[in-house]
Amino acid sequence: MKIAGLDIGTTGCKLTVFDEKGKYLDKAYRDYPVTRGSSEHEVDVEAIMEGVYAVIQKMSGKYPDIAGIGVTSFGESFVMTDEEGRPLHKAMLYTDPRGAAECRELEERLGGKFIASITGLKPHEMYSISKMMWIKRNHPKIYEKARHIFLMEDYVIFLLTGQAKIDYSLATRTMAFDITFLEWSREIFKAADINMELMSETVPTGTAIGTVTEHAARKTGLSVHTQIVAISHDQVAAAVGAGVFTSDKAVDGAGTVECITPVFDGLPDLDAMYRGNYSVVPYVIPGKYVCYAFSYTGGALIQWCIDTLAKKEKEIADQQGISVNQLLENESESPTGMLVLPHFAGAATPYMDTGSKGAVLGLTTGTTVSEIYRACMEGVVYEMMLNMDYLQACGVQFDMLHATGGGAHSKVWMQMKADMLNVPITALATVDAGTVGSAMLTGIAVGCFQDLTEAASHMVDKRATYTPRPEMHEKYQRVYEKYKKLYQAVRPLV
């Protein structure tokens, strides 16, 4: 028996296969095009589905005994379809500017704090509901023909099983889901003038939806007995894959985006979350929630530094047979004293200011590329310190971080984070916690594991734990006091 996790991303999808004990076996990946214009950011959902069929077909050919596939996806983007699930338009990505005016209208009708009190989200045009309003207003014929409105998780599930079901965490990304009562919000759909009956039925994260249809079996090579499981929004799947289920731990997603995901034992103070621009999302464990504290540029900033400034260092690293990251990290452990505002793609929480720009302060003629590289690493973590300060003021307190993603493989960055955040941090072996989390929940659904604890014991691989050093924390804290003033100092100038 095999279990698999299907991760549907913005630019590609992958299927990762594990055996019944959770051991990694294989994976397949297929990308698809995204189009970005000045007024349109779109993805073709038919291309997504072709990719899904392709990766499943590749893995089912090698592993014909796949018992279950869990589906996780990126958030916000939706598609209106006909009765059979044929798309009526391309899907708008969260960065698509359309829907901004409709979001303002919805906020004026209901009030921003009222919307947040229901949905756990501060109103923003990235979410689905205002873009649905835009389509109805600007393409009324498409809306009139629509018989379903799917996000990507439930779109794929529908085409594989014939069942229109979406899990709670992904439903949250519409800004039209009641996170307290765990159901679609009639009040918000009424104010938006969108037919709520077009939406999929909401179900708990990790729900087994059903087996694949005969048509889907022919398209994929799967058995008609293969179970399809509704997993979650990708960030929730990553939290599961990191083995974080209690409020004394949080996830450090050290990927392209830097994201800390703490767990709440109950519904947090939604007013406080609203002020800090934090999304509150139902978690896999009933009654628990998570929120996302993130920076748009985590690993992306480090990569920018390498690609832009470290061309010579790349050549030297190649000659030495090591990675350029290793070469650049092999310097003093002391804080650089430089200040890097990591808003190279705008500011995420707690500001949510897309107009903010990055900045590097403290350069001299003697500054080396290695020092700038290290200062970029520090800047990402200082931004997380800001978020942690805010969350701790709201009562969030955890005493361990589990780190996933490519950044978790950097011993230097892991030790730096432990020192700066003053929290022990355990680096996990897996780069792709979302796929692991998806397979864990699938394993539970098909009977490989009894519960999350057993699944984690098989599939969450801890590599090393980094402990804070008080003397280093004090040094970083002195620089952090300056960093706290950086955004307010730079923002008026850019």
Burial 293-327 (b: 16+ CB within 10 A, else e): bbbbbbbbbbebbbeebbeebeeebeeeeeebbeb
What is the separation of C-alpha 118 from the centre of its chain, rounded to a whole number of angstroms? 21
- Distance from C-alpha of 240 to C-alpha of 231, rounded to nearest angstrom: 10
**Whole-angstrom Cα distance, residue 133 to residue 333?**
52
Is the CA virtual torsion 137, 140, 144, 149 positive or negative?
negative
**Which of 331, 351, 327 minimizes the C-alpha distance to 341?**
351
Ramachandran class of 206: left when φ > 0, alpha when ψ lies in -120 to 50, beta otherwise: left
CA distances from 223 to 123, 207, 228, 449 (A): 43, 19, 11, 21
pLDDT computed for residue 280 by the predictor? 96
How far is Cα 481 from Cα 406, in angstroms, rounded to an integer? 29
Task: Please list the ranges in the chain whose pLDDT falls under 50.
Answer: none
Structure tokens at 397: 């307190």
Q: How many angstroms separate the CA atoms of 397 and 382, rounded?
A: 18
Q: What is the pLDDT of residues 127-173, one digit of tens each?
A: 999 999 999 999 999 999 999 999 999 999 999 999 999 999 999 99
* Strand ranges in 302-399 using DSSP code E only, listed in sequence order: 339-341, 359-361
Instruction: Report the predicted TM-score, pTM, of the whole model to 2 decimal places.
Output: 0.92
Which structural domains are found in the chain, ordered by start?
2-237 (3.30.420.40), 242-429+461-494 (3.30.420.40)
Q: What pLDDT sits at residue 331? A: 67
| Rounded Cα–Cα distance for residues 443 and 229 (Å) | 10
Collapse the DSSP code of 104 into the 3-class scheme (helix H, G, I; strand E, B; otherwise coil) and give the result.
Answer: helix
